[in-house]
Amino acid sequence: MTSIIFLQWMIALSYLLAAGLLVTCNRWPRMEVVAIGLASLGLLLHIAMVLVRGLDSGQIPIVTRYEDFTVDALSMASVWLLVQWRWPQLRSAGILVLPLAAFVVVAALTYSLGVFPMSPALRTNWLVIHASLNSLAVGFATLTLAVGLQRKRGSMHLVGLLMSWTFLFWCAMVAAGSYWASIAWGRFWGWDPIECWSLGTIFIYAFVLHLRMRPRWREGYRSALVGVLPFGLMMFTTYGLVFVMRSVHGQYLFQ
């Protein structure tokens, strides 16, 4: 238990240090490589920790709130690392993404590290697909927010693309969850609070993506402003909703 807490802090520290080094890149450009190396090291530790957790618990480690936070942080860091490889101009977004990932890794420790066995009806591969797509959407949404808030010339046109991928993963997550529900509970859609708010998040993302077709909403402070709205809604749906409303997802996400 203590080693996991130590490892989790080490991962957070490596992400924070990498973000700190990225800040100094304007002055010392070579620090960029060190920052990426450090973030990659943190990511490797992170992946190893999640794998060990999965082997220990005998199920995909994305069920409890602790596991959800840990895997979402993993997704944030890995999405940034992959995307900055394709578009180096997005590297500086790590200044926001990596501290957020570090915060989420540490925040995970505030929840129980115990294992919550899922009921047999829920233990299908759709759990893996549904939960992974959710984490991917959170990873892309965080990067989109970071790029949007930085408002750097030469990367603003990528906000729309990243947001589109976020939208796609989120919609696919809802579809996978819906299909899973049809198998496990006998209905595609039950108007559960999390289902309703997920649908609301889809509508808001679709609205913002359409709004971005107008040039004046594509750049400048307006773009950053409308980028925050769907992200905030997604965060509330994923993390906040089970605290204020009873949901079938709360059975395991509260653990």
Partner 1 sequence: MLRFDDIPLYYSMTLNNTTPPIFDLKVNRGRQVVFQGGLRPGDVADLGAYKLRFQGLEPWMTFNLTLDRGVTPIFAGFIITLLGFLLHLLFWPRRVEWMVTDDGWVVRVWVRRGDDVFEEKWHAWCHQLGLKAA
Least distance in angstroms from the C-beta of 62 to partner 1 = 17
Residue 105 exposure: Cα atoms within 13 Å on the Cβ side: 31
Q: Which residues bind partner 1 (CB under 8 A)?
A: 112-117, 157, 160-161, 164-165, 167-168, 171-172, 175, 178-179, 182, 185-189
* DSSP string for 182-249: HHHTS-S----HHHHHHHHHHHHHHHHHHHTTSGGGTSHHHHHHHHHHHHHHHHIIIIIHHHHS--TT
CB contact at 8 A, 95 and 130: no
Closer to partner 1 by CB, 157 or 246: give it: 157
**Least distance from C-beta 98 to partner 1, angstroms?**
25
CB of 233 to partner 1, least distance (A): 20
State the CB neighbour count (10 A cutoff) for residue 199: 15
- Of the pair 213, 244, the CB lying nearest partner 1 is at 213
By beta-carbon proximity to partner 1, the closer residue of 20 and 193 is 193
Minimum Å gap between C-beta 120 and partner 1 is 9
Q: How far is it, in rounded angstroms, from Cα 227 to Cα 57?
A: 37
Comparing CA positions, the residue from 98, 174, 196 lying closest to residue 139 is 98
Cβ distance to partner 1 smaller for residue 133 or 146: 133
In angstroms, give the least distance from the CB of 14 to partner 1.
27
Q: How far is the CB of 172 from partner 1 (least distance, A)?
A: 6
Cβ nearer to partner 1, comparing 45 with 109 = 109
Q: Report the Cα–Cα distance between both ends of the chain, in Å, rounded.
A: 17
State the Rg of the chain over Cα.
Answer: 18
Q: Which is nearer to partner 1, 98 or 143 (CB)?
A: 143
